[in-house]
Structure 1
Amino acid sequence: MATLQPALAFRRLRHGPLLLGGAVAGLLDLIWACSLWAFAGATPKLILQAIGSGWVGREAAVAGGWATALLGLLSHFGITIAMAYVYAGAARLLPALLRRPVAYGALYGIVAWAAMVHVVVPLSAAPANQSPPWAWALWANIAVHMFAVGVPCALAARAALAAREPY
């Protein structure tokens, strides 16, 4: 059984759990986005192109077809995997983050959502205001980031930093 050690700052990360946790967070977030935008008639391809528009702009993303959809897919999973690594880095400095991964993961999801909406997207080439027109969607997006992004990242960090049993 794995246990947590106090000297986490000097432990090596196990990358498998972080890659898996980031991928799970990315998949859950993408399923949510595709489900949400399906009500407005958007296809998964268009969702992925909207993500890819952060690199190339809206017109080039749509004109790029499946190539920019793939760029969006890789970018999306790259970001969510990076989110898992960021949480693990923070947990190395603040081991309490590992003791309550659901609570702190949910808080981290809010921080991650705010960073994406207020920093990453505005600094990208993506068009402004890609939010859905429904008032409830804001709170739903925050909740999804809390529990479908933040919590998997926190659980992944906990697994990545857990001490291995001696053989």
Structure 2
Amino acid sequence: MSPTMRAILGGGLIAAILDLGWAFMLAARDGIGPARVLRVVASGPFGDAMREGGAGASAVGACVHVLLALVMAAVFVLVAHQATVLIRRPILWGLAYGFGLYVVMYWIVLPLRWPERFPNRDPYDVAAALFTHMVLVGVPIALAAARAFRAGAFRGRLR
């Protein structure tokens, strides 16, 4: 497997696991189980009926979640191939990328799907979402890209 593909898979899967773990923890605080969290994820692209589904709907939600994280990782890694400055300081750029992901998800994607619920301006919810996207998603993706650079995926270009 190429270093680029390892960066996408590694960064994306780590980000997916950390993000989902955080979501499960926050939901548990409100008495909501992991299966319901995953069904809500599935309801994004597949409609509100998924919220009432069973194990299959939860599995679809897990797949949707992982696919989104892989796309997020692929975008960063592919852009980093052209702008290798992104992997010079992966923590900084990972935080910045995570902030950008938060803006896209919480101010564009989610309001388009659920305009009655988003954008959410509750300070606690905003802080939790920023932490998730910046620290648990953006940073692991950027670190995976930096590791791929060290493995030769970027052919020595460092701009």
TM above 0.5, yes or no, is yes
Structure 2 spans left out of the alignment, 5+ residues: 153-159
| Cα pair distance change 1:47/1:62, threshold 3 Å | same
Alignment of 1:61-80 (within 5 A): 61-80=50-69
Cα contact 1:21–1:152 (8 A) shared by 2: yes
In the alignment, which of 61, 65, 87 is matched to residue 76 of structure 2? 87
Amino acid at match of 1:140: A
Identity of aligned residues (%): 34
2:16 is the alignment partner of 1:49: no
2:123 is the alignment partner of 1:135: yes
| Cα pair distance change 1:118/1:77, threshold 3 Å | same
Cα contact 1:28–1:148 (8 A) shared by 2: yes
2:138 is the alignment partner of 1:162: no
TM-score scaled by structure 1? Answer: 0.81
Cα contact 1:91–1:98 (8 A) shared by 2: yes
Q: How far does the alpha carbon of each residue in 1:105-132 deviate from its partner, in whole angstroms, 9 at most, with x for none? A: 00100101111122222344x5742788
Q: How far does the alpha carbon of each residue in 1:15-46 deviate from its partner, in whole angstroms, 9 at most, with x for none? A: 12320111000000001011111121111000
Structure 1 position 65, deviation (Å): 1.2
In the alignment, which of 78, 82, 97 is matched to residue 86 of structure 2? 97
Amino acid at match of 1:151: V
Structure 1 spans left out of the alignment, 5+ residues: 1-11
Query: How many residues are aligned here?
Result: 152
In the alignment, which of 10, 15, 19 is matched to residue 29 of structure 1? 19
| Cα pair distance change 1:90/1:111, threshold 3 Å | same
Amino acid at match of 2:86: L
| CA distance in structure 1 between the partners assigned to 2:99 and 2:116 by the alignment | 20
| Cα pair distance change 1:16/1:82, threshold 3 Å | same
Greater percentage in helix: 2
| Cα RMSD (Å) | 2.4
Structure showing greater Rg: 1
- Range moving further from structure 2, 99-108 or 63-72: 63-72
TM-score scaled by structure 2? Answer: 0.84
